[in-house]
Structure 1
Amino acid sequence: MASSDIIRPPTEPARSHRRLDARRNHERVIAAARELLAQHGLQMTVPQVAERAGVGRATVYRSYPTKDDLIVAIVQEQFQQLEQRTLAALDSDDAYQGLRDYIPDLLEHLTRNRGLAAAFFEGRLVPAGRLLELIARLVEAAKPSGRIRQDAGELDLRVVLCGVIRQLITLDRWDQALWRRYGHMVLNAFRP
């Protein structure tokens, strides 16, 4: 075998360039998936993501073997952000005011992200239980104000809040003002 026939491993700069290129591709895939998930909800497709990211489908599948894997990665990150918003409301000096501001804001936020809204009410890909537990804690914290029903609990929250979300999604109604209006109606359901 001649010395020119020996396969040499790539040099460090070549490996580094590939890693950088792979990282950029991954970032483009995530950004494209976030946008498409927000616009189209759970109906987005991997080919759409690849096209928007400017990469081949194989590039997407390398990191995310299924569409659900990609959706879960995006939605988990978004649920963590919602949890942080909920914790901020819990840290409010006035828990009732925190709840009053939070619920309509949450619903309006969900109108801007159809995939997150669907994941919230479906619970199939990413369970919303932790987030709902935090919202229930916010309801509990607001009870001493006297402006929240003393018998309101997590089940009520799941039925009323998730019911509103589910119906608006089912009816394909995405107007932010409408969702905010229903946020206020949810709050009214919890008043004594």
Structure 2
Amino acid sequence: MPDQRRADARRNHARILAVAEREVAAHGSEASLEQIARTAGVGSATVRRHFPTRHALLTAVSHERVEALRRRALDLTTHTDPRQALLDWLDEVVAYCVTARGLATALSYDEALVPENSCSATLEEAAGPLLDRAAADGAVADGVTVRDLITLAVGIALAVEHHPDPPATAQRLFGLAVTGLSPVRR
């Protein structure tokens, strides 16, 4: 469907989004909407007209990364080991959330603020077959949902945001979540 907005509105949207991507990369989910407006050369009302909430802005900024994760989930559905396919995808979700500032917040579930989270819905739909295959193979506990897994990834990313080495810490915590607290006793 073609974009029905006026040319100046399309240009403003593109400029705001480009500036927002840089600001979110630099400052994370707390990037200043006012600074984004100033840098984009528009008023704050224009930013809010295009992106009525901070979450809407973060969703737009995260769109390409979410699409990459969606495509990766689809690619992994043919992996021969369903458990490993799911873990590989989750590992990439955690890594993206840690390195792509703002993505963890865009994926966060807050039903009061964002009743429909399009980023998470996209990933839930894409990862559903991965989880189904892993569950059918007995590799996942009963009752685990993709939403649970996304919440786990987001929680890890947000928890390590201010650590000296967020990617390494996130990787270690994700490994701990996968293997559990206790070693397997034989």
1:119-168 Cα shifts (integer Å, max 9, x gaps): 2233443252452354353133134656x24x34434871x652453255
- Which whole-Å CA distance do the structure 1 matches of 2:155 and 2:67 have between them? 21
Tell me, yes or no, if structure 1 residue 121 matches structure 2 residue 108: yes
Matched residue, 2:20: 33
Q: Supply the AA of the counterpart residue of 1:89.
A: L
Count of residues in correspondence between the two structures: 169
Q: TM-score, normalised by structure 1?
A: 0.65
Moved more, 165-174 or 78-87: 165-174
Do 1:38 and 1:116's aligned partners in 2 also have CA atoms closer than 8 Å? no
Structure 1 134/184 Cα, relative in aligned 2: closer, same or farther at 3 Å? Answer: farther
Contact 1:110 1:116 in 2 (8 A): yes
What's the TM-score once normalised by structure 2's chain length? 0.67
Distance 2:136 2:49 in 1: 52
Letter in 2 for 1:165: V
Q: Which amino acid aligns with 1:101?
A: D
Cα deviations by residue, 1:38-90 (Å, 9 ceiling, x for unpaired):
44333222212123334443543443344444334334564344322222222
- Answer with 1 or 2: which has the greater Rg: 1
44-53 or 72-81: bigger deviation: 72-81
Gaps of 5+ in 1: 1-17
CA RMSD of aligned residues (A): 3.4
- SS of residue matched to 1:91: coil
* 2:123 alignment partner, one of 109, 131, 135: 131
How do 1:154-169 and structure 2 match up within 5 A?
154-155=144-145, 158=148, 162-163=151-152, 165-166=154-155, 168-169=157-158
Q: CA 1:153–1:130 in 2, change beyond 3 Å: closer, same or farther?
A: farther
> Could you say which residue in structure 1 is the equivalent of 2:72?
85
> Secondary structure of 1:83's match?
helix
Hey, what does 2:29 align to over in structure 1? 42
Residue in 1 aligned with 2:174? 183
SS at match of 1:92: coil
Unaligned 5+ runs, structure 2: 1-5
Q: Cα offset for 1:100?
A: 3.0
Is the 8 Å Cα contact of residues 41 and 114 (structure 1) preserved in structure 2? yes
Matched, 1:57 2:49: no
* Structure 1 segment 3-22 matched on structure 2, within 5 A: 19=7, 22=9
Counterpart residue number, 1:100: 87
